[in-house]
Amino acid sequence: MPVIAGSGIVLDHRFGHRSEAMPSHTVVQGDCLSSIAERYGFDWSTLWNHANNAQLKQLRQDPNVIFPGDVVFIPEITAKEVDAATDALHNFKKKGPAQFAVRLLDGDQPITGQAYELIIDGHSVTGSTDGDGFIRQPLPPEARQGRLIVGSGSTRNLYELNFGTVDPVTTENGVRGRLSDLGYGVDNLADAVKAFKAKNSLSPVDESIDDVFRNKLKEVYGL
């Protein structure tokens, strides 16, 4: 295998990835665990559940929400051996991609049966929201942007989508982004926090952001 002089990096052409003594990936805005795993040839759960990522898992708690600057340990790819009888047909199931999920609401009520078009990386799919108002579609790991078109004619609405940009709810940006997506004006974050608390029966109705507030925000937002 060729070695890049002075780098300590071995290029392993069997798997098309680089390996180091202790390889890692530093998260940048737009990364998600699925895209990182795809880049290095893994399923996201393999990275998330690896012992060397236990501290990251404890810190973030949700594999869908990681933060720029987080460091993800990347293990070596190893062959998996499975005992199987010869002269027989065997089925092996490959895990599917992550899923895009969004819920359409009118106030607090789900919008069901609503026609939509979802465009990701130039690929368009159409459908209708389910009985709970959800749109669910497979999401390619490297997807960064998309468009969601809901309705038609005078009721047509276009939403620009950015994937992998939701920060942890433990950060101010994470709180601000979720409140904004839920329709709260966040130019004055304190007012948005109080409005959210009032609507969701949280007390005291003030600008403080504690674990009770964060947990409710995650519940309502879905992430």
Domain boundaries, the chain: 24-77, 98-162, 172-221
pLDDT of residue 14: 34
pTM above 0.75, yes or no: no
**What is the 8-class DSSP label of residue 155?**
G
pLDDT of residue 150: 93
pLDDT of residue 11: 38
With a cut of 70, which residues of the chain have pLDDT below it?
1-22, 90, 92-98
Whether 170 and 60 have beta carbons less than 8 Å apart is answered as no
Write the DSSP string, 32-91: -HHHHHHHHT--HHHHHT-GGGHHHHHHH--TT---TT-EEE-PPP-PPP----SSS---
Q: CATH 3.30.390.10: does it fit domain 98-162?
A: no
Fold of 24-77: Membrane-bound Lytic Murein Transglycosylase D; Chain A (3.10.350)
Place of tokens 């309705």: 151
Nearest-CA neighbor of 99 among 143, 149, 136, 129? 136
Which residues, including other chains, have CB under 8 Å from residue 36's CB and lie 6 or more apart? Answer: 25, 27, 44, 47, 72
